Structure 1
Amino acid sequence: MGNPYITPGRVRAALNTLNLRPSRDLGQNFLIDAQVLQQIVAAAALTPEDVVIEVGPGLGALTYELVQHAGKVYAIELDRRLAARLRDEFRAAANLEVVQADVLRVDPATLVGAAPYKVVANLPYQITSAALRHFLEAVPAPQLMVVMVQREVAERIVAQPPDMSVLAHAVQFYAEPSIVARVPAEAFLPAPKVDSAVLRLVRRPQPPVAVDDVDAFFRTIKAGFLQARKKLANALPGGLAGLGLRVDKEAVVHALVAAGVDPNRRAETLTLQEWARVHAALGPLLAGARAS
């Protein structure tokens, strides 16, 4: 039997029954392409032993597939009407628990305890970065994430130097990302204004660089990108000042040279390893800046 939640007619009928107009603010674009669903499920490599957290299940098209393949599924839905409908539609699915909540306020540990789990979701676009960070920094973090995101965002996440961004560094610090499939806007109802992509994130056993303070490390990276068009010799002092840390340009240049990074380079050309060396070299300067 095919997925009964995937056809445009059924999606429209369900929305009419709920008297629900898809909300752009909530990122409510409903998938109507069965092939894309299969690509998501295949990328997640689900087994009957798997515990899965789904974000934004909507009308249940992906949920239907997840409960067929996984041992336990937690579907987190913000919209009360959709959450109630999901509970009714899947009342026979003993391995599904619908959680009506804002996913950014849900600690995964309250659902899965210390058990390994995967996140499989068609993420609402406006919370993509926040949701990725929420799970990647969680304890425990998912061993695997397979998520639908805007194509442009997916391409930024998998980028390599010289096309890095703060988001690419933030994700690649925790996981190895790859694009599984590119998805046209027509695969959704209503069709968004942008194409999408299925992104697969495999959790790293440990970060690729060792840093003394992860938050401070990312503040250093963010400082470099605040004025990304400038060379690091100029961008870093200005970026640090924007974060309330005043460091002399000459001292920054000395720190960059000590880290083996040409001060004339730009932020998007640095690797995580180079940023780790820059952060270590800047450490004493930043401590002094905070103290002052």
Structure 2
Amino acid sequence: ELKDLWRGILFSTSSIGIWIVAYILNEIHEEIAWLQVTSRFLLLIMASIFVLAFFSISSSQPLLSQMSLRKKEPREFETMGQALGIPDSGLLLQRESALVIDPNEPLDKLLLNKRFRQSFMAFADSCLAGESVHFYDEVHELAKIPVDDPVRRIYMARHIIEKYISAGAAMEVNISHRSRQEILTTLDLSHPDLFSNALNELVQLMKMNLAKDYWSSMFFLKFKEEASMRTIGHELDQMTGWNFSPRLSSVHGADDPFHQEHPSKEFGHNSHDLDLHC
């Protein structure tokens, strides 16, 4: 955009300079016929260019909007998954099916649900031990990237390593030295099982250190209440979504088998005629 702006300025300056020179030559050298013809021709050409340029630029689109010199503010993303365009990254679907929570179910199975994972993550953060759940969430987002897209997988893997695996990282997780070295020394950052061993270790730690306290916490009670409310709301939506057939409203009285007005009158007339005959 800056180059285009400088080109426009240079072209405008050159055009104005040529117009001024042609005008001066036309006024000074009146005795030279060919110079008069050339200078007037240049004046006519430059005037046509100016008129064409003036009417070709829309007045509704000022120059600042076409060639902006202001630096565009970078778009901010809450998670790396959103920055990489991972589907439904960081989003809670309104129509997500309600999960029936059973504390006897394996924790890794329950963590697959986005709403439960966020509730469990909030509880872990309140205990100042949320790095394991955050790591699980990021690895879960990584699994959404197709294996045949190594570029995005590598970007996501580097982000996870720098945030959770590297020594002194901002949210360094507590994993074994062997698992940490396997990740740090790997030659294939796009491998689908890159964080599998570390993830299994952290799930076991969460089961021992966080899961038991979570079931008796206010976070779990709030999650159960919200899940029940979503279930009731879903059932109400289904009930209000029923459509009754409009065919019954178009049935006339004579065709309605439940319409008793005409048969009763007819029965009255028949009985009266029967009495007369008798």
Q: What TM-score results when the alignment is normalised by the length of structure 2?
A: 0.20
Specify which structure has the higher proportion of strand: 1
Task: Tell me which structure has the larger Cα radius of gyration.
Answer: 2
Specify which structure has the higher proportion of helix: 2
Q: What TM-score results when the alignment is normalised by the length of structure 1?
A: 0.19
